[in-house]
Amino acid sequence: MGWLLSPLTDFMNMIAVYFTEIWGFLIFIGRISGVIVVLVGAILWFTEINSKRGKGLVASGILLSIVVQYFVMYPPAFALIGD
């Protein structure tokens, strides 16, 4: 009976590796997005073009960075399988 589960296990491991690669890419995009949002918000805020919108973007970028860092520290189970 153990030989019957081997192809299913291999398939699940392959899917987990793909999910891990996608997860890594999403974390990369999240980090870059957080930095860009904070920079654009700071430019809007400090040049006083639209300071209210700039403050909102800075706060949103910081919140995005905190959420991304949380998911880096506590990844889902499939991200731990591929490592």
pTM: 0.78
The span from the CA of 15 to the CA of 81, in Å, is 10
Q: How many other CB atoms sit within 10 Å of the CB of residue 54?
A: 19
Assess contact for 27 and 58: CB atoms under 8 A: no
The per-residue pLDDT for 77 is 77
The mean pLDDT values, 10 residues at a time, for the chain of 83 residues are 68 86 94 97 94 96 96 80 52
The per-residue pLDDT for 4 is 61
The per-residue pLDDT for 20 is 87
